[in-house]
Structure 1
Amino acid sequence: MKDLLRFATAGSVDDGKSTLVGRLLYDTKSVLADQIEAVQRASVDKGLSTPDLSLLVDGLRAEREQGITIDVAYRYFSTPTREFVLADTPGHVQYTRNTVTGASTAELAVLLVDARYGVVEQTRRHAAVLALLQVPRLVLAINKIDLIGYDQAALEAIGKDFAGLARSLGFADDAVVTIPVSALVGDNVVDRSGHTPWYTGPTLLGHLESVPVTPPEADSPFRMPVQYVIREHASDYRGYAGQVASGTVRPGDAVVVLPGGATTTVAGVDTADGPLDAAGAGRSVTVRLADDIDLSRGDVLAAAGAAPRVTNELDATLCWLSDKPLRPGARLLLKHGTRTTQVIVGALGQRLDTDTVSYVDAPEQLAINDIARVSLRTADALPVDDYADIRATGGFLLIDPPTGNTLAAGLVGDPLRLQA
């Protein structure tokens, strides 16, 4: 079974994200012949001498007409080495919320910059969002290198500029890789370019195929929100089904049931294919416990020696996704893991200025795309970790009770940990 890498693209308008994604799909032979023919016909109609590979990604009519990406476009492709789920996110400032959506499950992000302009405001904005969401690895893809004559000094200067930004946002030096590419021509995307003999690093696809895919949650303490209780009266079987959100669970492990607080040990870890000796983050399993404990959907099984805190007072960071503004005192629903509870919004804290990557004075209300600190009080106590420590139990959603629409993505604590 091949590994799966979930990654996202981000960058400013006209940096060539959709063309880069189209190039990846085209050069890995991940598109059908009729799709290629349709792109070729559309490109001829536009008076282009070469296929416009962005048309393989920009599917909405408004996107094609404006030449921009509006919605998150998900694409699935594979190579003999690995399978990929790619989220192509918009570049416009007003679609920052879509970048939050696309990057929220990414294990790596490809951040594009135009070789002619280098690091710009939108680069800083997207880098801040990726750092906020704790995306563990970054690729800085310096695109359109053909338009600056493959100038090595200019490309190295851009890489150095971005390295300083990434470091200030908390990215480790070995978590950021810089690759010079031309999505239009294909330089260093799938095949190595003869125009950059001075570049000795991997191609973009080569890096995507070789980068470790172990999520940071793999080494974190065990957490598993209970999705369903499985009972079989004939055999007196009782198990608790869910997906391991972080860490590893094994028979004999001491666990605590939260928010109740009862402790017990794991009697077995079952799947449809039989019992397991261990199950890690991302694996869906049924856990049997040694003791008969009152446990239901919405509860969390956690490592007894490293349990999350249980609280109904949350100091969190919100990424506001709705056209409807958020004001203090709003009564909403909060979904955390498999539990949904009522919540009251308290005071709004400082807002993140993504242009300067710093916090500014608290707003009176949150508008669409705003990112700010906020205090929340939930009706039920929740077992939570800081998002910077464990994303699975540190993330939540705010939901509009009348419509069920998602209003905000929430992160417990301040993942950026910036000084005001």
Structure 2
Amino acid sequence: MTDTTTEPVYQTEALIAEDIDAYLDQHQHKTMLRFITCGSVDDGKSTLIGRLLYDSKMIFEDQLDALQADSKKVGTQGQEIDFALLVDGLAAEREQGITIDVAYRFFNTEKRKFIVADCPGHEQYTRNMVTGASTADLAVILVDARKGVLVQTRRHSYLCHLIGIRNVVLAVNKMDLIGYDQARYDAIVADYAAFAKSIGIEAFTAMPISGFKGDNITTRSASTPWYDGPTLVDHLETVEVLSSVDADKPFRLPVQWVNRPDLDFRGFAGLVAGGIVKPGDAVRVLPSGKTSTVTRIVTLDGDLDKAVAGQSVTLTFADEIDCSRGNVIAAADHPPQAADQFEATLVWMADDAMIPGRAYWLKLATQTVSATVQAPKYVVNVNTMEHLAAKTLDLNAIGVAEIATDKPLVFEPYAENRTLGGFILIDKLTNATVAAGMIHFSLRRAQNVHWQPSDVTRADHAGLKNQTPRVLWFTGLSGAGKSTIANEVEKRLNIMNRHTFLLDGDNVRHGLNKDLGFTEADRIENIRRVGEVAKLMCDAGLIVLTAFISPFRAEREMVRKMLPEGEFVEIHVDTPLEVAEARDVKGLYKKARAGQLKNFTGIDSPYEPPLSPEIRVNTSEMTAEEAAEYIIRQLMPLK
């Protein structure tokens, strides 16, 4: 007798394998939607996401058991589940019942995959919300049906629109707590519609929901028979994603790195930020403007016939042209702009206020440049949309300002391309991200003002004087002896037939900087101007001595970056505060101690000593003459 018991089993396993393969193939080709939930405190954002995870069967049994146990601990009665606990992972969040950090969660349905960011509602965590919104295609703005449209509802809606999110869902939550009152719902929608129109939101989808009860989340609720729109999940599954990087726009690829696995291959890797590219297409490398033709589109899985926005690829060129990280490869006949001055909207994300004139790192796509921000043109009142005057930007402030960079930046307006129009500012000392920004346009002077070359070069000026230009930057507290020592050093250099010029802190405030005070912003501008003058004098071949308190490391480093390597010599006149104050030649310390002189360095304004100066002298240990002799010896041989 033939045993056929294995036959059906084999066929069943084969069918199961086919089903699994079909499912995986279908899952792999699902579209992805990134969205955020935002709104005011306790509007139910975390609960809504927890409900979505629960209803989409994205919770394991052990997670469900833990969730039920945690729900009892935090006071949820009966068999109800506190879905917010699925998302609020930080202990501080659970203890306070609020969201602090941005929580990202993944789930999927039969039609689409989703990445959702749960953004905090407190105003102090607005910066976290901006982070979550920066990559989103859709925003779910939640409103507590009992409270209506609040300040944070407006703030988050404004930020979502500003960042470029064009798909907006107004989810009027907690309808169960108002008895599913249609009149209250209609009033909230009308209130929000008026505000949305004022900030430029042309359309939004409103729906009444209850994240806790599940009304109109995945299935239509019998409690809202007057609502005939889609459920939230239906809308998320079918909404058209309006991305700023799509195939209809000109080709753009910021270069992430140069791919050189061997001597025979040289390609340029990056994420396509817009458009389509094919082998044979003519491309231009910015900012140099060099052109070539694409020969191959290389990926780990083999060469492609074309690459579209959102794909990471490596391009090879027909010609050996200079191209490196930070460059942008673009369609040859439709390149982006390159400029060094812009108008931009900034969302300030640091606890310390913005300091106009201070240099920050600006990071846009793969480009990193040094940038200074001018005082804001205005800040935006998100409640009234008024433009208010301001001298700086505080935490969570939104303002418009002009930005200047130390070299041309390849960009497009943020409204046209998020990747090439959005940037962050980074504090140079702490490496903390202090702001997110969106470029509007380049300033006309960026295109109209060009560097005029001259036939007599910098080297010619220095050669005529038979010396290497330098900036001898004396820094230290008031009364440390900077001016006295700098004067002694210049006298010795003069005897040695060196061509010099001394810029003294007090002297330049009689003319060049007479309009500046002693606030932190004015001190920064004071040093920026002096640095520019010192640079011009170095171009003329001079040895420039500067005697300035220059209290901030960032500004001293800014001047160093203006000059060729080796030409900036930082000299720290390292005199202790008590010694400098005991001298008090000008009586300034006495006035500062009496409160008659504000923003005085060492008393009520900080001094940041150099971490590794080229030369250090201490006038409590040596005379000014001895210090000058020591400095000259350190500079020798003086070419």
- Shorter-chain TM range is over 0.9
Letter in 2 for 1:310: A
3-state secondary structure, aligned to 1:354 = coil
Is residue 269 of structure 1 aligned with residue 304 of structure 2? no
The one of 173, 190, 208 equivalent to 1:143 is 173
* TM-superposed deviation, 1:232: 5.0
Is residue 223 of structure 1 aligned with residue 248 of structure 2? no
3-state secondary structure, aligned to 1:356 = coil
Give the Cα–Cα distance (whole angstroms) in 2 for the partners of residues 171 and 222 of structure 1. Answer: 28
Task: Find the counterpart in structure 2 of residue 123 from structure 1.
Answer: 153
Runs of 4+ in 1 over 4 A off after TM superposition: none
Task: Find the counterpart in structure 2 of residue 67 from structure 1.
Answer: 97
Deviations 1:216-262 (A, max 9, x none): 3103222110011123555x332111000112222232221101111
Decide whether the 8 Å contact of 1:110 with 1:139 is kept in 2.
Answer: yes
Give the Cα–Cα distance (whole angstroms) in 2 for the partners of residues 269 and 167 of structure 1. Answer: 44
Is residue 412 of structure 1 aligned with residue 439 of structure 2? yes
For structure 2, the 5+ residue unaligned runs are 1-27, 442-639
Task: Find the counterpart in structure 1 of residue 633 from structure 2.
Answer: none
The one of 386, 409, 418 equivalent to 2:413 is 386
Task: Find the counterpart in structure 1 of residue 121 from structure 2.
Answer: 91
Decide whether the 8 Å contact of 2:375 with 2:392 is kept in 1.
Answer: no
For structure 1, the 5+ residue unaligned runs are 415-420
Letter in 1 for 2:258: V
Is residue 200 of structure 1 aligned with residue 228 of structure 2? yes
Larger helix fraction of residues: 2
1:79–1:359 Cα change, 3 Å? same
Percent identical among aligned pairs is 52
Deviations 1:1-28 (A, max 9, x none): 2211111110111111111111111111
Deviations 1:144-181 (A, max 9, x none): 111222222332332233223223322332xx211110
Deviations 1:53-104 (A, max 9, x none): 1111111121111111111111111222221111100111111111111101
Give the Cα–Cα distance (whole angstroms) in 2 for the partners of residues 347 and 214 of structure 1. Answer: 34
C-alpha RMSD over aligned residues: 1.6
Task: Find the counterpart in structure 1 of residue 401 from structure 2.
Answer: 374
Is residue 400 of structure 1 aligned with residue 427 of structure 2? yes
The one of 341, 345, 348 equivalent to 1:313 is 341
Task: Find the counterpart in structure 1 of residue 539 from structure 2.
Answer: none
Letter in 1 for 2:410: P
Letter in 1 for 2:279: P
Letter in 1 for 2:430: T
Indicate the structure (1 or 2) with the bigger Cα radius of gyration. 2
Decide whether the 8 Å contact of 1:269 with 1:278 is kept in 2.
Answer: yes
Letter in 1 for 2:148: G
Task: Find the counterpart in structure 2 of residue 80 from structure 1.
Answer: 110
The one of 116, 141, 160 equivalent to 1:111 is 141
The one of 46, 49, 52 equivalent to 1:21 is 49
Letter in 2 for 1:68: I
* TM-superposed deviation, 1:201: 1.6
Decide whether the 8 Å contact of 1:7 with 1:86 is kept in 2.
Answer: yes
Letter in 1 for 2:269: A
Letter in 2 for 1:384: F
TM-score relative to the length of structure 1: 0.93
3-state secondary structure, aligned to 2:375 = strand
* TM-superposed deviation, 1:299: 0.2
Decide whether the 8 Å contact of 2:167 with 2:242 is kept in 1.
Answer: no
TM-score relative to the length of structure 2: 0.62
Larger strand fraction of residues: 1
* TM-superposed deviation, 1:358: 3.0
Decide whether the 8 Å contact of 2:353 with 2:394 is kept in 1.
Answer: yes
Give the Cα–Cα distance (whole angstroms) in 2 for the partners of residues 403 and 154 of structure 1. Answer: 49
The one of 304, 315, 320 equivalent to 1:287 is 315
The one of 373, 381, 385 equivalent to 1:353 is 381
> How many residues end up aligned between the 2 structures?
410
* TM-superposed deviation, 1:357: 2.5
Give the Cα–Cα distance (whole angstroms) in 1 for the partners of residues 374 and 41 of structure 2. Answer: 36
Decide whether the 8 Å contact of 2:357 with 2:373 is kept in 1.
Answer: yes
Task: Find the counterpart in structure 1 of residue 285 from structure 2.
Answer: 257
Decide whether the 8 Å contact of 1:4 with 1:213 is kept in 2.
Answer: no
